[in-house]
């Protein structure tokens, strides 16, 4: 290949679009960028679809978004420094928006702050089938398929950015006797509407963010009762009447669920909120990240640059457990763009220095005691990414918002979304809104106005 850089971005979700946004901002004439997106729109899982299983092309449905989803973290902790919620909506809005409000905000930045039309870089309805790296030529070969025509083709690239997300390969445990259960069993990835469980007794398996939200959603939309089942430790929230916690399932006998503490409960439906497994099937083995979800997966310098192969020209975005989400993607995308275009003042380091620094972060992650430690690590991670890139220095200051958010949840899991926070960028205090548990209208007009 010529000396010109040619960059492949896999996925036009929040991560991929952030990288594309920054390449557009930098406008390096020596860098060509192509983004492959298997759907017909951008922003990935923030698009709602009623489809589950496979889509119209027979591809696995990527998104797990459901109706009436509201942010479970304060928007002030995931704000873009150069495009605040004030900038987009022209007024103060509450701290915990519904999905549509967040998607509209992200799209606003892509349209209004970009130097050019970002859609011109994107190949829509095009799925990447395989990525290989040739050490001799120092080139990646990307095999892709146009889903509308069925045409398969290859392109050569100097760099690859994997931005396919980590919420698309459900982890589905099995339980003794599950085959005897006569009701509906789904993973939260296929959960679309809590109203479908109205009047039912629901078992929610899991003890993390999706479990807490799905349980609350089902109660909000009329489920008769909800039992949550945890494997290692309970969520320990002050649950409202109608939700209770039980330990691990021992055996299922028809509709009767027996737990390891000797208790039992009869249920009509089971929702598995048991997380996801990393899955990057389009990458050859030596390029593939294999890890469990954490705030700092091993094998990545700056949480981004793959160290095991690819001559330090393969990058992963958004593979961390996420608190700051959009802000973190933004800082990460800028660092990757500056690294690729050679506009970082203190890079590149040699491979041994990179591995040594990566191990420091991995060791710190291993010493985590609770979610507050995770939050601190992610704030420091953003600060580390920002060193030398010109990213806004106040971005990590949202760390205190997240600590308060965790305290609010422990104080009252039903009302934590009703609390207002102040933007670290605009200084604006969020507006008040009607109580989340009583609000069934998730439209933009209703929320903003």
157 and 56 fall within a common domain: yes
Q: Which domain holds residue 307?
A: 5-168+276-405
Q: What pLDDT is stored for residue 221 in this prediction?
A: 98
d(CA 248, CA 245): 10
Of the candidates 390, 329, 436, the one whose C-alpha atom is nearest the C-alpha of residue 26 is 390
pLDDT tens digits, 375-408: 999 999 999 999 889 999 898 899 999 999 999 9
Residue 94 belongs to a domain? yes
pLDDT tens digits, 336-370: 999 999 999 877 689 999 999 999 999 999 999 99
Q: What pLDDT is stored for residue 348 in this prediction?
A: 67
Q: Is 360 left (phi over 0), alpha (psi -120 to 50) or beta?
A: alpha
**Once rounded to an integer, what is the mean pLDDT over residues 59-65?**
88
Q: What pLDDT is stored for residue 3 in this prediction?
A: 74
Average pLDDT, the chain: 96
Residue 373 belongs to a domain? yes
Q: What pLDDT is stored for residue 293 in this prediction?
A: 84
30 and 95 fall within a common domain: yes
Domain end: 227, 250, 272, which one?
272
pLDDT tens digits, 120-171: 999 999 999 999 999 999 999 999 999 999 999 999 999 999 999 998 889 9
Q: What pLDDT is stored for residue 251 in this prediction?
A: 98
Label each residue of the chain as H, E or C: CCCCEEEEEECCCHHHHHHHHHHHHHCCCCEEEEEECCCCCCCHHHCCCCCCCECCCCCECCCCCCCCCECCCCHHHCCECCECHHHHHCCCCCCCCEHHHHHHHHHHHHHHCCCCCHHHHEECCEEEEEEEEECCCCEEEEEEEECCCCCEEEEEECEEEECCCCCCCECCCCCCCHHHCCCEEEEHHHCCCHHHHCCCEEEEECCCHHHHHHHHHHHHCCCCEEEEECCCCCCCCCCCCCEEEECCEEEEECCEEEECCCCEEECCEEEECCCECCCCCCECHHHCCCCCCCCCCCCEECCCEECCCCCCCEEECCCCCCCCCHHHHHHHHHHHHHHHHCCCCCCCCCHHHHHHHHHHHHHHHHCCCCHHHHHHHHHHHHHHHHCCCCCCCCHHHHHHHHHHHHHHHHHCCCCHHHCCCECCCCCCECCCCCCHHHCCCCCHHHHHC
Residue keyed to tokens 């050859």: 284
Q: Exposure of 285 by Cβ count < 10 A (0-12 exposed, 13-18 middle, 19+ buried)?
A: exposed
pLDDT tens digits, 166-190: 988 899 999 999 999 999 999 999 9
239 and 337 fall within a common domain: no
60 and 201 fall within a common domain: no
Residue 104 reports pLDDT greater than 80 = yes
262 and 289 fall within a common domain: no
191 and 268 fall within a common domain: yes
290 and 267 fall within a common domain: no
Residue 446 belongs to a domain? no
Residue 433 belongs to a domain? no
Residue 444 belongs to a domain? no
156 and 82 fall within a common domain: yes
Domain end: 230, 252, 272, which one?
272
pLDDT tens digits, 273-286: 999 999 999 999 99
Q: Would you say the C-alpha torsion 12, 17, 19, 21 has a positive or negative sign?
A: positive
Residue 214 reports pLDDT greater than 70 = yes
311 and 394 fall within a common domain: yes
Residue 413 belongs to a domain? no
Residue 173 belongs to a domain? no
Of the candidates 383, 331, 317, the one whose C-alpha atom is nearest the C-alpha of residue 15 is 317
Residue 445 belongs to a domain? no
Residue 29 reports pLDDT greater than 90 = yes
Length of the chain: 449
131 and 15 fall within a common domain: yes
**Once rounded to an integer, what is the mean pLDDT over residues 265-269?**
99
Residue 441 reports pLDDT greater than 70 = yes
Instruction: Report CA-CA distances (Å) from 303 to 44, 144, 321, 378.
Output: 21, 26, 11, 10
Q: What pLDDT is stored for residue 244 in this prediction?
A: 97
265 and 284 fall within a common domain: no
- If one counts the domains in the chain, the total is 2
235 and 284 fall within a common domain: no
Domain end: 272, 294, 328, which one?
272
Domain of residue 225, CATH code: 3.50.50.60
């Amino acid at each position: 290949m010529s000396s010109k850089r040619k960059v492949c971005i896999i996925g036009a979700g929040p991560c991929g679009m952030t990288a594309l946004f920054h390449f557009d901002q930098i406008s390096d004439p020596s860098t060509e960028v192509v983004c492959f997106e298997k759907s017909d729109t951008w922003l990935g899982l923030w698009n709602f679809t009623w489809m589950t299983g496979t889509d119209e092309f027979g591809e696995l449905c990527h998104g797990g978004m459901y109706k009436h989803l509201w942010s479970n973290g304060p928007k002030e902790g995931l704000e873009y420094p150069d495009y605040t919620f004030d900038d987009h909506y022209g007024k103060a809005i509450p701290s915990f928006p519904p999905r549509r409000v967040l998607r509209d905000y992200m799209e606003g930045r892509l349209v209004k702050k970009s130097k050019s039309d970002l859609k011109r870089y994107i190949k829509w309805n095009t799925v990447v089938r395989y990525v290989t790296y040739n050490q001799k030529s120092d080139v990646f070969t990307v095999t892709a398929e146009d889903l509308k025509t069925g045409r398969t083709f290859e392109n050569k690239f100097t760099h690859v950015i994997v931005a396919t997300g980590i919420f698309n390969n459900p982890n589905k445990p099995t339980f003794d006797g599950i085959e005897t259960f006569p009701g509906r069993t789904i993973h939260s990835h296929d959960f679309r509407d809590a109203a479908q469980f109205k009047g039912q007794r629901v078992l929610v398996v899991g003890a993390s963010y999706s479990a807490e939200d799905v349980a609350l959603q089902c109660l909000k939309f009329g489920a008769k009762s909800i039992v949550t089942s945890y494997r290692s430790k309970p969520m320990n929230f002050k649950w409202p009447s109608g939700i209770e916690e039980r330990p691990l399932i021992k055996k299922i006998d028809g509709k009767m669920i027996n737990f390891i503490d000797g208790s039992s409960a009869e249920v009509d439906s089971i929702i598995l909120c048991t997380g996801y497994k990393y899955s990057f099937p389009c990458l050859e083995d030596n390029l593939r990240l294999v890890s469990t979800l954490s705030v700092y997966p091993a094998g990545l310098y700056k949480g981004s640059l793959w160290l095991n192969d690819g001559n330090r020209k393969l990058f992963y975005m958004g593979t961390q457990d996420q608190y700051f989400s959009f802000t973190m993607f933004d800082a990460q995308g800028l660092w990757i763009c500056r690294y690729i275009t050679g506009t970082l003042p203190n890079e590149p380091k040699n491979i041994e220095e990179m591995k040594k620094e990566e191990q420091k972060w991995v060791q710190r992650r291993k010493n985590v005691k609770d979610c507050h430690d995770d939050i601190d690590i992610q704030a420091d991670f953003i600060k580390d990414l920002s060193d030398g890139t010109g990213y806004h220095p106040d971005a990590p200051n949202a760390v205190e918002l997240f600590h308060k958010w965790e305290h609010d949840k422990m104080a009252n899991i039903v009302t934590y979304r009703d609390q207002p926070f102040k933007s670290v960028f605009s200084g604006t205090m969020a507006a008040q809104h009607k109580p989340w548990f009583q609000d069934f209208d998730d439209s933009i007009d209703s929320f903003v106005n």
